[in-house]
Amino acid sequence: MEVMREAATFREATDAARAGGSTIGFVPTMGALHDGHRALLRAARTETDRVAVSIFVNPMQFGDPDDLARYPRDEASDLALCEAEGVDLVWAPPVDEVYPLGVELAHPDPGEVGDLYEGAARPGHFAGVLLVVHRVLDIAGPCTAFFGEKDAQQLFLVRRMIEQEPDLRVTIVGCPTQREPDGLARSSRNAALGREEREQAACLFLALTEAAERARAGERDANSLVAVMAREIGATPLARLDYAAVVDDETFEPVGVLDGPSRAIVAARFPSARLIDNVALPEPAG
């Protein structure tokens, strides 16, 4: 496994692999790798010839400096996990390799969807996300990039960015959310939860599951499903609801009536961490 710091060295390595006839599976990460990332790495290993990973905590997507400072970092553990999963190339750059002084970088516009939900809770977040994703994909070169479906709004915006940027020659693959036995979506932020918080954090998946069950049973009123989710999370003592919504899976805009592919999304704050989750809503039975 090769570990690189410089952008140019990483690009030389991916170019060399492509020149040798290999396809590149790229997994951009912010480190603090866990089993959710393992699933992305294994998907990349299955679908491509060579697996590349970036490890970079992106300061441009954090509006709160304290949140950036608290974000978990353990490069040694991350590299050990990558090696165990058969990763070929790791790019772990310093900030000035991602954002070099005097270099004009592309600033993709998240648009109106970028101001909803996560964008409303974290102003400027998606501008920072798209900035760094565009940058690292541009450096990686033509590849298949793997993202988790847990960050559904991010995945939607990245896919739309790639549709608008064909010169990047990147294919985006979304991989299913990985969950703990009680349904909690695996996340780097879970490690910050205290024992009681961790026990109660399952309320997000419970809320989503109840909404999905009602949709399967024939409920098409999105407002009713939102109320169900809000009630479940609101009844959890340590959770404070940020939002609950039902969105069109193809536009990520809110819907009133379920008449096509749709997704339930939630976010809640606990004393030690803020968590998000989502599920695709099923078509009604019969």
Alpha-carbon Rg for the chain, nearest whole angstrom, is 19
Instruction: Give the Cα separation of 35 and 204 in Å (integer).
Output: 19
Choice among 37, 107, 125, 134 that is catalytic: 37
Q: With residue 196 as reference, give the H or E element that holds it.
A: helix 195-200
Is position 134 annotated as part of the catalytic site? no
CA 250, 254, 256, 262 dihedral sign is positive
Using CA atoms, how far residue 66 sits from 71, 72, 120, 282, in Å, is 9, 12, 19, 39
- In the block, tokens 């969807």 appear at 113
* HSE-CB of 77 using CA atoms within 13 angstroms: 12
With a CB cutoff of 8 Å and minimum separation 6, the contacts of 64 are none
Catalytic amino acids?
37
